[in-house]
Structure 1
Amino acid sequence: MKKTFKNILAVAGVLGLTFALNAVKPQHISAAEKLPAQTTKELKEKGTLTIGLEGTFAPYSYRKDGKLTGFEVELGKQLAKEMGLKAKFVPTKWDGLIAGLDTGKYDVVLNNVTITKERKEKYLFSKPYIYSHFALITKKGTDLTKLKQIKGQKIAAGTGTDNALIAKKYKATVVPSSDFTTSLDLIKQDRAKGAINSMSAWYAYKKDHSTKDLKATDVSKEEDPAKIGALMSKKDKALQKSVDKALDKLRKDGKLKEISKKYVGGDITK
């Protein structure tokens, strides 16, 4: 009888513990939190990390001899490798690039996208992998060297880019530009007084082009360097963790710095 009573207590204890666990579990694991694990599973099943980028913006992603190359192209390959995946690139124009995440066109965007409060409300970012210094590019001989001087001036910048936001912040008239080379052409043709872009883009351009009539001024004293990260859908929290882990590994191994020096000529990763 005593043994039977102990068995009854043991069964009751197990049932009570099971009930308690089941009662607590729904409070801590929501449907939204379960979704990222499914996303990671899908990535592993297809074996690829699909990456959206422009492919027209040196030194980040551009074509050389018809082949896609650049800082973010090599970074994408290294990230995928660390995650046990193969990188697949989908070149897309800037005006539809970020929206491609919403339609599932790719898993992540690597395209010199600045981490902003507004974007973080709609998307997830990885840890920064670039700290981009803003540059004010003008013709040589001009006294335009500070952002506070561009008020009312025509300044070339890509529509919807952070460069355009900076130009608007300092009350310049934005002249839409499709890419870096076009921005410089607008200056040379006197259709724009200057352009706002990154110092790294300027350095990369100088490697293969003459800039004897132009100059670039680092305006970091007026605007802090932009923090650049990989952009992902809000639902992909597991992917965000995987990308961050891979970035940490690449930074620790010195690979991130190595890629930067290869394509930019200096370390822009800190």
Structure 2
Amino acid sequence: MKWQTLRKALFGAALTASIALLAACGNSTTSKTSGTFKDDLVTKDTLTIGLEGTYKPYSYRENNKLVGFEVDLGKAVAKQMGVKAEFKPTKWDSLIAGLGAGKFDLVLNNITQSPERAKSYLFSDVYTYSHYVLISPTSKPITKIADIKGKKLGESTGSDNAIVAKKYGATVVPVENFTTDLQMIKDGRIDANINAAPSWYAYKADHATKGLTMTELPSSEVAPAKVSGLLNKKSTKLQKRVNKALKVLRKNGTLKQLSMKYFGADITK
């Protein structure tokens, strides 16, 4: 009788221990899979943002200070998320590679959505729409997208502008920035440049454009690009949190205010 009582007691203790162990394992699994967007950050409590810093009005230096539409946007997104923003100015051809290498959490650099990029990266929600323009010399104007076939166009390597130029048969000459593009057109070293309309208007506000002709490309020929932030494929929690912040900024008018400040127009729709 005593042995049966002891055996029951031992069995009960073993059962209790097993249940406790299973519960602990369950809690451990839950904690690993739940987490928050902060688990995706490169640096604790910091949203590390990659951008060029030479692309006015998106991001550029003024009095040695980094400013611009996407700089202010990055700060506003980070504030909504309860973290600080840290910017890493990087040349265009190293931005995407840097994101893949884990140097940034997010790239804000007038990047448009494309099926090719979607294979390797995540997009945030759209925050602006970018209509294309064709810039050429006044002496030899090119006013139709079909006419760039066989022409030399200066574009940033791997940019959306370069993709459009190649699609319509142009020979792309690698050029690092918009200002250099325009000077090369004036000098006759390239035939034209395809770019975002906001970039042209921002440049025109501060620089002489004599000798240059700008033609807005109809949406029916070249669809406006959807501009989004770019994130690592694994950063799904961060993507959701960034999108939540963008929704708030769109709803409370911040996104439109920033657009009007830097472009003089609402390009968020």
Q: TM-score, normalised by structure 2?
A: 0.85
Q: Which letter does structure 2 place at the counterpart of 1:238?
A: K
What do the CA deviations read for 1:35-84 (whole angstroms, capped 9, x no partner)? x8365246498221110000000110000111100000000000000000
1:13-52 mapped onto 2 (5 Å cutoff): 34=33, 37=35, 40-41=38-39, 43=41, 46-52=44-50
Question: Contact 1:113 / 1:229 at 8 angstroms: preserved in 2?
Answer: yes
Q: Tell me the residue number matched to 2:243.
A: 244
State the alpha-carbon separation in 2 of the partners of residues 42 and 168 from structure 1.
Answer: 36
Counterpart CA distance in 2 for 1:122 and 1:41 is 20
Quick check: 1:111 aligned with 2:106? no
Given the superposition, is the C-alpha separation of residues 39 and 212 from structure 1 closer, same or farther in structure 2, using an over 3 Å criterion?
same
SS of 1:130's partner is strand
Native 8 Å contact 1:53 1:109 kept in 2:
yes
Distance across 2 between alignment mates of 1:89 and 1:73: 8
Write the distance in 2 (CA, Å) between the matches of 1:45 and 1:99: 18
Percent of residue pairs bearing the same amino acid type: 54
User: Contact 1:52–1:110 (CA<8 Å) still a contact in 2?
Assistant: yes
Q: 1:185 aligns with which of 173, 183, 186?
A: 183
Cα deviations across residues 205-244 of structure 1 (Å, max 9, x unaligned)? 0111001221211113311000010100011101000010
* Counterpart secondary structure, 2:244: helix
For residues 145-166 of structure 1, the C-alpha deviation after alignment (integer angstroms, 9 at most, x for no partner) is 0110110111111111111111
Instruction: Check the 8 A contact 2:40/2:235 in 1, yes or no.
Output: no
- Cα displacement string for residues 1-53 of structure 1 (whole angstroms, at most 9, x for unaligned residues): xxxxxxxxxxxxxx9xx9xx99xx9xxx999x93x836524649822111000
CA distance in 2, matches of 1:156, 1:43: 36
Give the direction of change, closer, same or farther, for the CA distance of 1:51–1:45 in structure 2 (3 Å limit): closer
Structure 2 counterpart of 1:133, from 128, 131, 134: 131
Aligned residue among 97, 105, 111 for 1:99: 97
The one-letter amino acid paired with 1:264 is: F
Shifted more, 45-54 versus 101-110: the winner is 45-54
Gaps of 5+ in 1: 1-14
**2:13 corresponds to:** none
Shift of 1:103: 1.7
3-state DSSP class of the match of 2:164?
helix
Secondary structure at the aligned position of 1:125 is classed as strand
C-alpha distance in 1, partners of 2:237/2:154? 38
Q: Give 2:157's match in structure 1, choosing from 138, 156, 159.
A: 159
Pair 185,81 (structure 1): closer, same or farther in 2 beyond 3 Å: same
The DSSP-based 3-state class of the residue aligned with 1:156 is strand
Q: Residue 44 and residue 92 in structure 1: after superposition, are their counterparts in 2 closer, same or farther (change >3 A)? A: closer
In structure 1, give the amino acid aligned to 2:86.
K
Q: Provide the TM-score with structure 1 as the length reference.
A: 0.85
Larger radius of gyration: 2
Aligned to 1:5: none
Flag structure 2 segments of 5+ consecutive residues without an equivalent.
Answer: 1-15
Q: 1:250 to 1:39 in 2, by over 3 A?
A: closer
